Amino acid sequence: MKYDYYLFDFDGTVADTGEGIRRSVAYSLEKMGFPPLNEATLSRFIGPPLHDSYMEFCGMDDEQAERAIALYRERYVDIGLYESHLYPGMAMLLRALKRGGAWVAIASAKPTFMLQRLAKHFGIDKYLDAISGTGLDRHSADKRDLILAALPEGADLSRACMCGDRRFDVEAAAGLGMAGVGADYGYSMPGELAGAGACAVFGALSDMAQYLLGGELPRGLFLTLEGSDGCGKSTQLALLREYLEKRGFELVLTREPGGCPISERIREVILSLDSKGMSDECEALLYAASRVEHVREVVEPALKCGKIVICDRFLDSSIAYQAYGRELGEDFIRQINTPAIRLAKPDRTLLLTLDRAQARRRLAQGAPLDRLELEKEDFFARVQAGYEALAKAEPERIAVIDASRGIDEVFEAVKAAVDEVL
């Protein structure tokens, strides 16, 4: 990696907090009877200490600025704080830096308790070694002091960088002998960061991530969901998608068989009732052909870009359904799937388990059954045995989750399994 210590401003660099800040500033001005500000001026409150901004942009004196901050927080602490989102890709960048052994911290003029609350809300607290902010009674702060408080004692400042979207971040870094990296995707004015002496300025987070990591984007994460039909995979996948997107991860949702045009055409052949009588070997080979195309076209490119891929079924399904269900043997199934698995293997698999009788009742309430869903019960008993064998052989990868419980309870187990690998 390029540095040993990576510090980030929060507003406009780690997260887009603009909406909550603008609305809360507007709220405070209205309460005090000050004329409203336009959107561009409200955006200039993002980053610098609030006290300074109220005095500069609203012409307030010190006492008025203190009153405005109190009113601002009246709305912001409970509402405005959560009118924000991480920039897509930020969580994966922080994860990659932390996993690479770097010191990762936040240095922001925002109150510390707010930064801590937001870091936990977005799930990035696990990647941070320190959070340096201000106290509630400290409305104007020297950015250099915040940076130093975010670093460990004895840190080599020549091996540290400060990433921020305003000149205050860059100038403070330069004053300490650190590298100042400009996040021009945030709330900087045109030319502001370069004019402040940033060693590099980036208009896209992906470009900044590549620079900070020494030329390579962090590889993404491959998650798969498995289980017998009717176990609730689709419901849990939708909940997982919402959970991860709110935490700033870029996602690709896909499925097998399918996921890309050629593989979707193969899916139609495999599952169609018109394919009744297809040989077991033909079925297994079609799944393998669909998979290698899917991995080459969708899964591997997304992982190279640092995205999280969530796939509804993967190789484990072929082992459970064809190796065990069709009794073709695990060696044969793994052999024909080698071209796909050579390119991508799941980092974590969520195996949802459900009693067969309960699964049948759920399926009866849904769409018409496909060719595999119409198989006999002894087939599904062998499939279940296959999943059990896989879970026993790879407990570090496969998280077994009881899907007979309520949706929310199941999802808590899903979250825990995903958070562990994150």
pLDDT digits (tens, 9 = 90+) for 223-278: 999 998 778 888 999 999 999 988 888 999 999 999 999 999 999 999 888 888 89
Round the average pLDDT of the chain to a whole number and report it: 92
Contacts of 261 (CB under 8 A, 6+ apart): none
Q: For residue 79, give the amino acid letter.
A: I
Asked if 186 and 14 touch (Cβ cutoff 8 Å), the reply is no
Instruction: Provide, rounded to the nearest whole percent, the portion of the chain with pLDDT above 90.
Output: 80
Can you give the C-alpha Rg of the chain in angstroms? 26
Rounded Cα distance between 187 and 192, Å, is 10
- CA distances 41 to 36, 81, 399, Å, are 10, 19, 50
Q: Domains of the chain, with CATH numbers?
A: 5-14+84-212 (3.40.50.1000), 18-82 (1.10.150.240), 221-421 (3.40.50.300)
Does 42 or 357 have the greater pLDDT score?
42
pLDDT of the residue at 138 = 60
pLDDT of the residue at 358 = 72
Which pLDDT band, with edges at 50, 70 and 90, does 367 fall under?
Answer: low
Q: Average pLDDT, stretch 46-63?
A: 91
**pTM (2 decimals)?**
0.80
Rounded Cα distance between 378 and 55, Å, is 76
Q: Average pLDDT, stretch 5-11?
A: 97
Listed in sequence order, the DSSP H helices in 272-399 are: 280-294, 300-304, 315-318, 330-336, 338-341, 356-364, 377-393
163 pLDDT higher than 90: yes
Q: In what order do the strands lie in the sheet with 5-8?
A: 130-134, 103-111, 5-8, 160-164, 179-183, 200-202
Rounded Cα distance between 174 and 101, Å, is 24
pLDDT of the residue at 366 = 62
Strands (E), 119-216: 130-134, 160-164, 179-183, 200-202
* Dihedral sign for Cα atoms in the order 311, 216, 188, 4: positive
141 pLDDT higher than 80: no
pLDDT per position as a tens digit, 404-422: 999 999 999 999 999 999 8
Q: Average pLDDT, stretch 326-351?
A: 95
Asked if 70 and 27 touch (Cβ cutoff 8 Å), the reply is no
pLDDT of the residue at 164 = 97
301 pLDDT higher than 80: yes
Instruction: Provide, rounded to the nearest whole percent, the portion of the chain with pLDDT above 70.
Output: 95
pLDDT of the residue at 361 = 66
pLDDT of the residue at 365 = 65
- CA distances 222 to 247, 294, 348, 397, Å, are 17, 13, 7, 11
Which pLDDT band, with edges at 50, 70 and 90, does 215 fall under?
Answer: confident
